[in-house]
Amino acid sequence: MSANPEPRDPAGETLLSAAELEARLQQIGRERYHSLHPFHKLLHGGRLNRGQVQAWVLNRFYYQSRIPIKDATLLSRCEDLELRREWRKRIEEHDGWPAGAGRERNEGGIERWLVLAEAVGLPRDYVVSTEGLLPATRFAVDAYVHFVREKSLLEAVASSLTELFAPKIHEERIAGLLQHYPFANERTIAYFKRRLKEAPEDVKFGLAYVIREARTRAQQEQVLAAVRFKTDVLWAQLDALHHAYVEPGHVPPGAFVPEGPQEWQASA
């Protein structure tokens, strides 16, 4: 009798090691993360006009606005105090807090996004109303909230792990926006700067959680499927933007229609 060199789960299936699981997650990022999408290449390369950037900021706001709802949904399903404590930080970061109790005021990620929206020429109220949103954006983002409500807690946590791939795209975006667009400055791109710091902290916890809690191969596969699902959610949003605003004549009924001069003006 020789010792079995491969760990197996209770169903007799081969378990992935922590390193293998993480390698497969990284592979999903290399193949499917929305950094590969042509719309992002246009955005980061300075090849989008004013209305196209407005459409991106307007639609992406809906994603931002649902994130605390998504995270509160996860919290509401969670009986593990340690996980709750860790996860609630995400809601705080996004919704912000006033100065006090030894902490500086944090206007929050949603407010930082609205600063960007105003900088590209969108009225704040219009953005908040979500009037003008592409229906496909709403469906994709709501699919994410529903996923977190309806799937296992493990899958809900796993769906956040696209944060593994986020710092690279944020770096590209910060550099690209500052280089190419007159609206971009330290104040207006603060959202991305902050995420550059937050995302690695958040993902460290999430990754350790799924490595620990996925105890069968089937659960490990669920973790991978959850991350693929999330890359679909992100990709579909850019497909909808690309179809409606890059290719002429495809804005769906009721959605935002850019107005006024579309070339960029040097900022005042």
Q: Applying CB under 8 A, which residues contact its own copies?
A: 31-32, 36, 38, 134-136, 138-140, 142-143, 146, 228, 231-233, 235-236, 239-240, 242-244, 247, 250, 252-254
Distance CA 17, CA 10 (A): 15
Q: Which is nearer to its own copies, 38 or 45 (CB)?
A: 38
**Nearer to its own copies (CB atom), residue 29 or residue 51:** 29
Instruction: Indicate the DSSP class of residue 232.
Output: H
Question: In the complex with its own copies, which residue's Cβ is closer, 111 or 142?
Answer: 142
* CB proximity list for 147: less than 8 A, separation 6 or greater: 155, 156, 159, 226, 229
Element holding 18 (H helix, E strand): helix 18-32
CB proximity list for 31: less than 8 A, separation 6 or greater: none
Judged by beta carbon, residue 64 or residue 188, the one nearer its own copies is: 64
Measured from the CB atom, the residue of 33 and 191 that comes closer to its own copies is: 33
Q: Find the shortest distance in angstroms from Cβ 254 to its own copies.
A: 7
Beta strands in 134-227 (DSSP E): none
Task: Give me the least distance between CB of 74 and its own copies, in Å please.
Answer: 17
Task: Name the minimum Å distance from CB 5 to its own copies.
Answer: 33
Complex with its own copies: residue 222 or 231, whichever CB lies closer: 231
Q: Which residues contact 19 (CB under 8 A, 6 or more apart)?
A: none
Encoding tokens for residue 90? 């995400």
End-to-end Cα separation, the chain, in angstroms: 78
| Shortest distance in whole angstroms from residue 240 CB to its own copies | 7
Contact 166, 206 (CB under 8 A): no
C-alpha distances in Å from residue 79, one per residue of 75, 76, 219? 8, 8, 19
Nearest-approach distance from CB 39 to its own copies, in angstroms: 10
Minimum CB separation from its own copies for residue 136, in Å? Answer: 4
